[in-house]
Amino acid sequence: MVIIAASSIKRTHVNLTLRQLKIFDAVARHLSFTQASKELHLTQPAVSMQVKQLEEEVGLPLFEQVGKKVFLTDAGEEMQRYAGSVLTTLAEVSLVFDEMRGLERGRLRIAVASTANYFVPQLLASFCQRYPNVQVSLDVTNRKRLLEALSANETDLVIMGKPPTNMDLVAESFMDNPLVVIAPPSHPLAGARDIPLKRLQEETFLVREKGSGTRSAMERFFVEHGVSLSSTMEMSSSEAIKQGVEAGLGFGLLSLHTLEMELTLKRLVILDVHELPILRKWYIMHRAGKRLSAVAQSFKHFVLTESSAILNLPRLGSRAKA
């Protein structure tokens, strides 16, 4: 029998800082020191140094690099779980105090689809005029990144198109989002009426990148209607598509909300295509069970009840298809 005196057992206390946990969490989410440094507005050496100090404190490697890829070690996966729990708890503490202070000094984190950025700043401006001391963080990105933000609970509210079906969300629609086909005014089809949908197969289409909600809706619609595009050209933004269409590179299918200036200046036209536009909805959403701050609750109510009166958006006729 081996007897070990309690006094001879060495207990190791790990001293971690909140700064180290935040930096580790960013690197673990992105699996990239470069992306973490961009998110945190730090230099990459500063991020690497903090992670190294954390690893020295823990006494175990938290990341390993294979080629150019970064992976979490087993210890890193454990640390990510605990870091996430700590940071979530601290965020809830901050939320409680924000609620106690009311709307005067609250914080609001919003992530929106890149297409929604054509009107969301107008909503935020009106909201912030009412509550001038509210601090707002706005992340504009594509659908893939929005879903990641929802999954990781990184944001208070998300504004985007069709909600995902594989997440437990509270999603409420607040405005129509028609997708229309655009062409340059000089195109032979400009001004034509009731163009057959199949006619679009003869044209090159400028499309958004993979992960875009607009592209997914377009591809789903064309498959459902038996339309196969003969030629496509991928663009990284709605602005690039509009400029490409204006230059005569092809057609585009975009949200009507991105076209106000171009339609007013007659740089682009909306084609009258049978079965189009595709009528979608804009939604404001958050994770089910998420405890919204007083500010987030107020902004959500503001969007649902006042957005239609504030926004001056282009209008379409009634021939829109869901």
pLDDT given for residue 98 in this prediction:
65
What is the distance, to the nearest Å, from the Cα of residue 207 to the centroid of all Cα atoms in its chain?
Answer: 18
Of the pLDDT bands very low, low, confident and very high (cuts 50, 70, 90), residue 228 is confident
Instruction: Give CATH for domain 100-175+281-310.
Output: 3.40.190.10
Q: Is the pLDDT of residue 1 over 50?
A: no
- Measured CA to CA, the distance from residue 161 to residue 246 in angstroms comes to 26
- Residue whose token pair is 């498959």: 223
Q: Is the pTM of this model over 0.85?
A: no
**pLDDT digits 0-9 by tens, 79-126:** 998 888 888 888 777 766 666 555 556 788 999 988 888 889 999 999
Q: Evaluate whether 100-175+281-310 and 177-280 have a shared fold.
A: yes
- Of 29-43, 160-174, 304-318, the one with minimum mean pLDDT is 304-318
Among candidate residues 98, 109, 213, the one with its CA nearest the CA of residue 153: 109
Q: Are strands 251-255 and 204-207 parallel, antiparallel or unpaired?
A: parallel
Cβ pair 215, 208 in contact under 8 A: yes
- Computed from CA positions of residues 129, 174, 138, 252, in that sequence, does the dihedral angle turn out positive or negative? negative
- Does CATH place domain 18-83 in 1.10.10.10? yes
Torsion of CA 146, 152, 154, 156, to 10 degrees: 80
Residue 182 burial (10 A CB sphere; 0-12, 13-18, 19+): buried
Average pLDDT over residues 2-20: 60
Contacts of 120 (CB under 8 A, 6+ apart): 110, 112, 138, 159
The domain limits of the chain are 18-83, 100-175+281-310, 177-280
Fold of 177-280: D-Maltodextrin-Binding Protein; domain 2 (3.40.190)
- Measured CA to CA, the distance from residue 190 to residue 270 in angstroms comes to 8
Cβ pair 30, 149 in contact under 8 A: no
pLDDT given for residue 209 in this prediction:
83
Compute the mean pLDDT over every residue in the chain, rounded to the nearest whole number.
84
How far is the CA of 91 from the CAs of 23, 174, 317, in angstroms? 16, 28, 46
- Measured CA to CA, the distance from residue 141 to residue 51 in angstroms comes to 27
Cβ pair 102, 294 in contact under 8 A: yes
CA angle 252, 254, 256 (to 5 degrees): 130
Could you tell me the two tokens for 182? 């655009």
Report DSSP state, residue 163: P
**pLDDT digits 0-9 by tens, 121-174:** 999 999 988 888 888 889 988 888 888 888 888 889 999 888 888 888 899 999
Average pLDDT over residues 231-240: 87
